Structure 1
Amino acid sequence: MRVLIMGNSGSGKSSQARQLAAQHQLMHLDLDTIFWAPGEVAVARPAYEVLADLYAFVRSYPDWVVEGCYGDLIEKALPFCTQLVFINPGRDACMANNAERPWEPHKYACKEEQDSMLPNLMKWVGEYDVRDDACSYAFHRRVYDAFPGAKREDAPLSGDAA
């Protein structure tokens, strides 16, 4: 089983990925961990490094789940997956989940640092339907609709946050 999960921040991607990984003994990759520079806040790594790490991961394990909002990275991993999942609960659900997001120590040194970024995150999440970047609804929709393999579009389990 090799599953790609994409959606807006706060959609429930990470929760669903962790659940799948535990249930099926899958390796799990949160794309944030390879996209952002370690120990930095909102500093992207060079694209060639991110892509190299993504390819190394999907080629190194027979079974995995990869999740993130980076539609361009999801698109690059499509040839390796057995299923694509698009979690799309709507803007309000994503905003509420982000407002309640617990501290993510793999992304931030402390909860206060994470909370300081919340206004920027909320603005960005709120613009999901109108942005035209690789993390936008339009990009995710295009990737999902064009994928000819097994796929599903759904909302996360009740109470989940990305």
Structure 2
Amino acid sequence: MIRIVIFGNSGSGKSTLAAKLSRESALAHLDLDTLAWEPVSPPVRCTLAKSREAINYFTDNNENWIIEGCYSDLLEFVLKKATKVIYLCLPIEHCVENAKSRQWEPHKYESKEAQDANLNMLITWIRQYESRNDTFSKTAHEQLFNQFNGPKVRFSSNEQLA
């Protein structure tokens, strides 16, 4: 059984790594961005109960999986089910560069132009990672990593991920 949880800052490479591992090992892949937000503008987070229900549906219907996101509050729901944790703790500027060069994410944005229009806000968000004190923060991710007792790895550069 393979059940991997990947987390880290925005732009750290979570989705890219998850997609690669999913392809290589035939793992079902869940990007928490797809269930954490209500489909409204401006964005509003779904309730934790609604997100948890969707996560449980995914884990109940897939024996082998990979779940990725920056939502510590949601990842706590699956941490006990995970067989491995990967924490992408890259330097802020690596995350910024990754965000600037990311491919269009059609499951998140209606067009590449819409994604690019959000880039400045995303870069500001990425740069606040170490100073924020919320579920998306470095502090929350460190706590998540430290509480997991199984196999785990921390990557701190793009070179390590390659």
Q: Structure 1-normalised TM-score?
A: 0.91
**Residues 135 and 12 of structure 1: is their aligned pair in 2 closer, same or farther, counting only changes over 3 Å?**
same
**Residues 42 and 16 of structure 1: is their aligned pair in 2 closer, same or farther, counting only changes over 3 Å?**
same
Question: Structure 2: any 5+ residue segments left out of the alignment?
Answer: none
Task: Give the SS at the match of 2:132.
Answer: coil
**Residues 156 and 20 of structure 1: is their aligned pair in 2 closer, same or farther, counting only changes over 3 Å?**
farther
- Which residue of 2 is the match for residue 99 of structure 1? 100
* Displacement of 1:100: 1.3
Give the structure, 1 or 2, with the largest relative contact order (CA under 8 Å, sep 6 or more): 1
Task: Give the SS at the match of 1:113.
Answer: helix
Q: Structure 2-normalised TM-score?
A: 0.91
In structure 2, C-alpha distance between the alignment counterparts of 1:96 and 1:39, rounded to whole Å: 28
CA contact (8 A) 1:13 1:156 kept: no
1:52 counterpart = 2:53: yes
1:57-99 C-alpha deviation (Å, 9 max, x unpaired): 1121110000001011111110111001101111010011111
**Residues 80 and 40 of structure 1: is their aligned pair in 2 closer, same or farther, counting only changes over 3 Å?**
farther
Count of aligned pairs? 160
Amino acid at match of 2:44: V
Moved over 3 A (4+): 38-41, 155-160
Amino acid at match of 2:110: A
Amino acid at match of 2:83: T
CA contact (8 A) 2:7 2:68 kept: yes
Task: Give the SS at the match of 1:76.
Answer: coil
1:19-78 C-alpha deviation (Å, 9 max, x unpaired): 111111000000001112247563322322111101111121110000001011111110
38-47 vs 88-97, which moves further: 38-47
- Which residue of 2 is the match for residue 145 of structure 1? 146
- Which residue of 1 is the match for residue 77 of structure 2? 76
Amino acid at match of 2:48: A
